[in-house]
Amino acid sequence: MQQDILINWSPQETRAAIVENGVVQELHVERELQRGLVGNIYLGKVARVLPGMQSAFIDIGLERAAFLHVADVWQRDQGRERREEEGERAQLTPKPIEKLVFEGQTLMVQVIKDPLGSKGARLSTHISIAGRLMVHLPRDDGSIGVSQKIPLEQRDALRQRVQQLMETLPPEPGLDRPGGYIVRTNAEDAPDADLQEDMLYLRKAAARVRQAARTQPAPTLLHQDLNLMQRVLRDMVDEHTASVRIDSRTQHAALLAFGQAFMPNAVQKLALYSGERPIFDLYNIDEEVAQAMGRRVDLKSGGYLVMDQTEALTTIDVNTGGFVGTRNFDETIFKTNLEAAQAIARQLRLRNLGGIIIADFIDMQRAEHREGVLAELRKQLQRDRIKTTVGDFSQLGLLEMTRKRTRESLERMLCEPCPACQGRGTVKTPRSVAYEILREVLREARQFHPAEFRILAAPQVIDLFLDEESQHLASLSEFIGKPISLQAEGLFSQEQYDVVLM
């Protein structure tokens, strides 16, 4: 499937959209003051060790301490098994966390997950530095992994080539381990000269990190990952990419120089956009993003999805809406669910939803219909770079999925909880607030004896007291033996009020 990548740059924000067949599928946003941390290497200090959770909190200089689990701690004396998958780290049978780290210890760590909500960043001591063709593992023992996306019959030959190139490189002074490499997908047809050049670049980068760790105090940043535009060129451009267009002449020149040095195959697809319309207007991307902020997603057939993102999981409800179909009821449901499966796969990518996802498709009586919807969903998810595991339909007809989460969702990045409802999505009715005020006045009257009580509240609550609830207000005033005055505050939210003792 052909894809185009559009990059909209401004001094404060960079946005990259991936468009497939004229429809936006992914949006990546990086703000200069809120740049992501994944890939950054820090020299941190162990703040707390929690044996019960087999984890530790590490101070890396951020607002919240970062989290390190025992499974992400590199251990020199244990054997390891590598899963041959790009970006995966060695899997270990770990010792207890309290035998590996201690409070006050200085530790070199790398961020593998950005802070999410109230949670700090997640760390690993399996340090890796990504290059154009390979990922370097400075602490490894010389093993070589190959991306699973490279055909099986080519992996052994590629691994042998990299092994031979490693043997030709001079040993680095002061190191007892040569380090390992993971061969990336785009190295499949790379010549030996390019592979060796990438290895030398990665070794130099690792040496700079080690030198900084020896000279800098903790906590400090030792290595920062590439910016969004550079990561687009490194990670998102493949054989399906037709063009990469950017709307800034200055950034185009910088990206061109970067590409010529590290990704020469991607440079030929890089172009400067000089049209009069904003680049995102070419595919109505801003409108699509605005719709991705809402709960409802309309389907072409007349059905719709309702998506709710919570702290624990994301729920997706499928409804037929106005779609009545042309055949029988089962076919109508099946067609709606098929279209919903396509829309769900796209929305997961566009909104960057991660964690546990529960989809409630319309109940299907026939097993072949359920299998067809499941097959269509898995087919659509194959186009997603982020791994998604899909289960089978449960006895209740629910479909469970998990999608790897490494950064905030689009909604969490662009939005914040409503100050009126505090993220609940609802507010108390004016009548509920009015009755709460009456109870508060009665509570205050039992403790204090002012000359008068004054109620400050939103206009809609005051209007209720002046009309439908005037009798209850008068009865309360007579019961406590004190006058009660009203004052409307236009800046108050519907739930906000104050009872002033005069």
**117-154 tens-digit pLDDT:** 778 999 999 999 988 789 999 988 888 999 887 888 88
| pLDDT tens-digit series, residues 270-318 | 999 999 999 999 999 999 888 888 899 999 888 899 999 888 899 999 9
Structure tokens at 350: 């566009």
- Give the whole-angstrom CA distance, residue 278 versus residue 17: 13
Q: Which amino acid is at 436?
A: E
Residue keyed to tokens 């990206």:
255
Residue 272 is classified by DSSP as E
Whether residues 221 and 127 share a domain: the answer is yes
Whether residues 132 and 7 share a domain: the answer is no
Model pLDDT, residue 84: 41
CATH number of the domain that 216 lies in?
2.40.50.140
- Give the whole-angstrom CA distance, residue 343 versus residue 339: 6
- Give the whole-angstrom CA distance, residue 229 versus residue 236: 10
Give the least confident one: 2-11, 183-192, 434-443. Answer: 183-192
Whether residues 105 and 221 share a domain: the answer is yes
How many domains would you assign to the chain?
4
Model pLDDT, residue 488: 95
Whether residues 191 and 251 share a domain: the answer is no
Q: Is residue 423 part of a domain?
A: no
| DSSP H or E stretch at residue 111 | strand 106-113
Q: Is residue 419 part of a domain?
A: no
| DSSP H or E stretch at residue 210 | helix 192-215
Whether residues 134 and 175 share a domain: the answer is yes
What is the extent of the structural domain holding 234? Answer: 3-34+229-285
Structure tokens at 113: 């997950």
Give the least confident one: 61-75, 77-91, 96-110, 161-175. Answer: 77-91
Q: Is residue 264 part of a domain?
A: yes
Structure tokens at 182: 């993971």
Average pLDDT across the chain, whole number: 88
With a cut of 50, say whether residue 219 has pLDDT above it.
Answer: yes
Structure tokens at 299: 């389907």
Q: Is residue 290 part of a domain?
A: no
| pLDDT tens-digit series, residues 344-387 | 999 999 999 999 999 999 999 899 999 999 999 999 999 888 88
Residue 284: left (phi > 0), alpha (psi -120 to 50), or beta? left
Whether residues 204 and 117 share a domain: the answer is yes
| CA-based nearest residue to 205, from 224, 189, 190, 218 | 224
With a cut of 90, say whether residue 192 has pLDDT above it.
Answer: no
The radius of gyration of the chain from alpha carbons, rounded to an integer in Å, stands at 29
- Give the whole-angstrom CA distance, residue 303 versus residue 126: 47
Q: Is residue 378 part of a domain?
A: yes
In terms of Cβ atoms closer than 10 Å to its own Cβ (0-12, 13-18, 19+), residue 193 is exposed
Whether residues 479 and 358 share a domain: the answer is no
Model pLDDT, residue 323: 60
Last residue of a domain, one of 204, 225, 246: 225
Q: How confident is the model at residue 172 (pLDDT cuts 50, 70, 90)?
A: confident
| pLDDT tens-digit series, residues 74-96 | 876 544 444 344 444 444 455 89
Whether residues 178 and 82 share a domain: the answer is yes
CATH number of the domain that 239 lies in?
3.30.420.60
- Give the whole-angstrom CA distance, residue 37 versus residue 377: 31
Whether residues 366 and 468 share a domain: the answer is no
Q: Is residue 424 part of a domain?
A: no
Q: Is residue 185 part of a domain?
A: yes
Model pLDDT, residue 76: 65
Percent of the chain with pLDDT over 70: 94
Last residue of a domain, one of 264, 285, 306: 285
Structure tokens at 132: 């154009």
Q: Average of pLDDT values for 167-177? A: 77
- Give the whole-angstrom CA distance, residue 74 versus residue 124: 8
Whether residues 255 and 365 share a domain: the answer is no
Q: Is residue 422 part of a domain?
A: no
Model pLDDT, residue 89: 46
Last residue of a domain, one of 191, 225, 259: 225
Whether residues 452 and 490 share a domain: the answer is yes
Whether residues 58 and 198 share a domain: the answer is yes
Check if the beta carbon of residue 44 is closer than 8 Å to that of residue 107.
Answer: yes
CATH number of the domain that 469 lies in?
3.40.1260.20
pTM of the full structure: 0.72
